[in-house]
Structure 1
Amino acid sequence: MAASALFEKLALHAPHLPSKQFIPAFVYGTAWKKDATNELVYQAISNGFTAIDTAAQPKHYREDLVAAGVSRAIRDGLIKRSDLYLQTKFTSIGGQDPDDMPYDPTSPVVDQVNASVMSSLQNFNFANVVKDDDEAEPYIDTLVLHSPMQSLNETLEVWQTLEQYVPNEIRNLGISNCNLFTLMDLYERSTIKPSVVQNRFYPNTKFDIGVRQFCKDHNIIYQSFWTLSANPALVWSKEAGALANQLGISPQSALYCLVLGLGNITVLNGSKKTQHMQEDWRAVEKARQYAELHPAQWERTMADFRRMIGQPKP
């Protein structure tokens, strides 16, 4: 595969779907945006984002305001629903605000999952703004299990409940905050295999080298989050600095490009500033062109970065 292909959209492996779905280099992250979520989602779509991540977890996300921002963008003709990748999550009781949940915490876990999915589908109903040639029925591109449950059996119970919505109301399934052994068990025992894994990319997990290799081997897209905030040492490393100077981009954008350069990765990007949104997308394009025109130099850059994070040669 050409180095520049690392910066193209990644195809979700979903044999249950009649056509391929794709995730771009950046997925717009909406955690902690609170009342600003509506406007920030609209600005993200206005500035090149075609993929949005949220969760049915009012404690940290405003899924309803994500939908409001998307509705406005569709109504204003910025994007079609069918060209947008919308990803949300089921969050268990432990991750919820006891006073604000999308389900009854006293109900069985299966009922909790069903209620959460229904609340997300209600938010993602854009029938009043889509055009005649777009998809009017509400659906979720990927539903992510926010964290494994307390036991493997309960995790499988939740997963099997979600599988019943695939491929109609939910197109793909994923899991977040997941270690390698849980991922292997889930993959082995599930009918609908995970299409994405969304994990922190940081030193505490040795940058998920084992998880990312499993994902690559099994056609699962790895979604990196906390990429900047958890890695100041990487942002200000000589490797990121050298790429930043070479391409005329910020060290933060350079780190994004280096992580994307590892392959089979998309990055959650939650920038609140339109300038940074634009700069990050321009940086990816500059890195793509550089990798295409100077493949040997790019590979040396990536070899240095892989060495820095302790990743073996591919």
Structure 2
Amino acid sequence: MKPTMIYGTAWKKDKTAALVELAIGQGFRAIDTACQPKHYNEKLVGVGVQRALAKNNLAREDLFLQTKFTPPGGQDPSTIPYDPADPIEKQIKTSLAVSKENLQTDYLDSLVLHSPISPFSALEKAWRVFEGFVREGDVKQIGISNCYDADLFKKLYEVATIKPKVLQNRFYATTSYDKELRAFCKENEISYQSFWSLSANPHLLGSKEVLELSVKYQKTAPAIFYRFLTHLGITPLNGTTSLAHMREDLGIFSFTLEEGEIERINALL
């Protein structure tokens, strides 16, 4: 399954289970989380998933579950889900075991390295562990997040035996919207996932181009922007807590932007 929009579970805290259940009930079939208690309640993601499967008569195979291994630097030392004194290989294996238990699943559709690790030799070592998960059937695909250095990502791709299938980055002007990275992803059949797609781009949501299309298609500005992203081949993360917004955003595939309309918004990036 290649998701077209993913429900993001960061910062949902004690509402995580209810929101995940709601999102799946409304039609989301892909869920993103992380084994990082600082920002995610992965265990409650699992609770929400199980409730939704039962309530909506769905099978595990109907969902795309993606989680992340977060290196020690991105963890709260008081809640870190593995021993940071362990070698990186053991940290990653422990994290995966915790994620599978939290999510109540025996496999993951996607495992993402939450951020690059330095030096590159350590990154490569971590990647070899990820590759082992794919070979063993624990994970279907692997990727990396928060990697904005095109040279670094290309180097990882080159040395990888099992290539990254996901690059998940913040979509914002500071990195020129990852134009070089997105082109590389497109050339190599790598899914580019965007987060902060709305939060980082109020100037685009309020632009004349987007607002005119909002009127034309009778859709919200966020829905127009999400649809624009999908036309570019981007898979956006959506972290809304609003039932109305879930319905609006999942309805973006009921219409198609014209080529000229896509180009006008793209020119703003």
TM-score, scaled relative to structure 2: 0.97
Amino acid at match of 1:146: H
Q: 2:262 aligns with which of 292, 302, 309?
A: 302
Q: CA–CA distance in 2 between the matches of 1:239 and 1:145? A: 36
Other-structure match for 1:22: 2
Q: 2:184 aligns with which of 197, 214, 236?
A: 214
Q: 1:269 aligns with which of 238, 253, 262?
A: 238
Other-structure match for 1:102: 81
Other-structure match for 2:145: 176
Secondary structure at the counterpart of residue 160 of structure 1: helix
Secondary structure at the counterpart of residue 197 of structure 1: strand
Q: CA–CA distance in 2 between the matches of 1:275 and 1:79? A: 23
Give matches, 1:135-146, under 5 Å: 138-146=106-114
* Cα displacement string for residues 96-140 of structure 1 (whole angstroms, at most 9, x for unaligned residues): 0100011001111111111001111112325xxxxxxxxxxx101
Q: CA–CA distance in 2 between the matches of 1:239 and 1:182? A: 35
Gaps of 5+ in 1: 1-20, 127-137, 292-297, 310-314
Q: CA–CA distance in 2 between the matches of 1:251 and 1:74? A: 31
* 1:308 to partner: Cα distance: 1.2
Secondary structure at the counterpart of residue 268 of structure 1: strand
Amino acid at match of 1:155: L
* Cα displacement string for residues 124-172 of structure 1 (whole angstroms, at most 9, x for unaligned residues): 325xxxxxxxxxxx10100000000021111111110111111411110
Q: Which structure's relative contact order is higher, taking Cα pairs within 8 Å and 6+ residues apart?
A: 1
For residues 38 and 245 of structure 1, do their structure 2 counterparts lie closer, same or farther at Cα, with a shift above 3 Å needed?
same
Q: 2:46 aligns with which of 67, 86, 103?
A: 67
Contact map agreement 1:124 1:140 (CA 8 A) in 2: no
Q: CA–CA distance in 2 between the matches of 1:198 and 1:190? A: 17
Gaps of 5+ in 2: none
Other-structure match for 1:244: 214
* 1:306 to partner: Cα distance: 1.6
Secondary structure at the counterpart of residue 115 of structure 2: coil
Query: Structure 1 vs Structure 2: percent identity of aligned residues?
Result: 45
* 1:84 to partner: Cα distance: 0.2
Other-structure match for 1:203: 173
Secondary structure at the counterpart of residue 59 of structure 1: coil
Runs of 4+ in 1 over 6 A off after TM superposition: none
Q: CA–CA distance in 2 between the matches of 1:202 and 1:164? A: 33
Q: CA–CA distance in 2 between the matches of 1:119 and 1:170? A: 14
